[in-house]
Amino acid sequence: MKEYLLLFRGGDGATVQQSPEKWQEHMQQWMQWMGKLTEQGKFIGAQPLETTGKQITGNKKVVTDGPFMEGKEFIGGYLMCKADTYDEAIEIAKGCPILQFDDGKIEVRELKSVHP
């Protein structure tokens, strides 16, 4: 089994956040989606990320504020899971509640084994 990183962009769901009931319902969906992965033993970890951030660049280690991107561009969170193929990882990602929003976007990346 391989490991995949799902990077979440957009889908902050401003409309959902306005109503506590809708927010509760939305988080329930996250729980159901992730709960299914834990039951299947495919869940590794997941965290949302703050909107703040810093960047450190090059051998001069220049620190800049950022990422100053539009909301839908920066990474809002991640989930790591196990799957056999990209297809399976994509199927998992399709269940993510972030895709209920038009601007929700998930980047699926396979973790690489550096050791030969």
Residues near other proteins, by CB under 8 A: 24, 27-28, 30-31, 34-35, 38-39, 43, 45-48, 77, 79
* Closest distance of CB 33 from other proteins, Å: 9
- Phi, psi at 89, each rounded to 5°: -60, -35
Could you give the CA distance from residue 17 to residue 40 in angstroms, rounded to a whole number? Answer: 30
* Closest distance of CB 2 from other proteins, Å: 19
* Closest distance of CB 45 from other proteins, Å: 6
- Phi, psi at 86, each rounded to 5°: -55, -40
Q: Which is nearer to other proteins, 35 or 71 (CB)?
A: 35
Q: With residue 55 as reference, give the H or E element that holds it.
A: strand 54-57
